[in-house]
Amino acid sequence: MYPIKIFSGSANRPLADRVCQYLDQPMGKMIVEKFPDGESFCRIEEDVRGKDVFIIQPTCRPVNDTLMELLVMIDCCRRASADRITAVIPYFGYARQDRKDEGRVPISAKLCANLLECAGANRVVALDLHSAQIQGFFDIPLDHLSASPILDEYINSLGYSPDEVVVVSPDAGSIKRAVKHVEALGGSLAIIDKRRLSGSEVEQAHLIGGPIEGRVAFLFDDMISTGGSICGAAKVVKEMGAKKVIVAASHGILCGPAIERLQEAPIDQVVLSDTIPLLPEHHIPKIKVLSCAPILGEVIKRIHNHESISQMFKTLKFATGQYY
């Protein structure tokens, strides 16, 4: 079998190192840097001819730079005759612009898919895409993973019994996700009616389902960006009598007023995965980060060995102790 080679862009090198550690593989040697005018550049420092190449790069902040860097890395590997190039994108930026919900706007998620294919990606691994339909924007295989097993494993380890738990979906778009968490954790289900007022402001007043009073509320979302959605939802359930509020999200974008909002919100703990690296100012006591490296590492191994990926979610447990 042709050998495996892992490379990392600059977006989240610690996560890529953890994946290499899981796989017991050295990180591929590649110089990734910027020209003085800000253009992205990379140079592979070893032979990749005929290799099975995986490039790990979330397209997180600064989104345009990390995306462009990923594209030049793919192009570079293609021109260096890699046998197969898999873009491992733990957080897929631009995903929220996935449809024309008003006139004269782009579908940026589709544009990103086109760019990745055009650059030379042969397959994509993504984790908790904002909407599952984005898979269809690609004409190459895409493995859509979730950090949920890791979040659920941690939340299970907190030891709450199902009859004291309510899983809350902070908006209608997250209902399917919440239902899966109810299946994994037990408890009842509640849904919050969220209306978006602007990019950073939302309005949440009505709640369907429950009960909430006296329960531990687990709020799951795909991402926390400005924190408006999750903090508003936390306020609703707290006012309705939840005794504890724990929120969990796969992607901690944490931009704008997010940290201030999370600090002030009636939230006891925020659990995130490490798809996006935290900035120094993000390290507040109530934020806990769990690594998704075991999931990514296992998937890379299985893609390389032509093994089933869906099967792994039925059989594997992901090291609950491995927190960063």
- Site residues (CB under 6 A) for ligand R5P? 170-171, 173-174, 200, 202, 221-230
Place of tokens 């998937």: 299
| Run of H or E residues at 23 | helix 13-23
Whole-number Å distance between alpha carbons of 276 and 90: 8
Residue 169 CA, distance from chain mean position: 17
187/227 with CB nearer ligand R5P: 227
Cross-sheet strand order for the sheet of 244-252 = 202-209, 188-196, 165-169, 216-224, 244-252, 269-273, 287-290
Least spacing, CB of residue 130 vs ligand R5P, in Å: 6
Asked if 54 and 82 touch (Cβ cutoff 8 Å), the reply is: no
Place of tokens 């919050």: 192
185/234 with CB nearer ligand R5P: 234
53/191 with CB nearer ligand R5P: 191
Two tokens at 195? 């209306």
Least spacing, CB of residue 238 vs ligand R5P, in Å: 17
The active-site residue, picked from 5, 194, 238, 244, is: 194
Q: How are beta strands 30-34 and 40-44 bridged, if at all?
A: antiparallel
Least spacing, CB of residue 269 vs ligand R5P, in Å: 17
Q: Is 194 a catalytic residue?
A: yes
20/231 with CB nearer ligand R5P: 231
Whole-number Å distance between alpha carbons of 70 and 275: 15
Two tokens at 13? 């090198």
224/237 with CB nearer ligand R5P: 224
Asked if 58 and 66 touch (Cβ cutoff 8 Å), the reply is: yes
Place of tokens 């005018």: 37
> CB neighbours (10 Å) of residue 322?
13
Give catalytic residues, as residue numbers.
Answer: 194
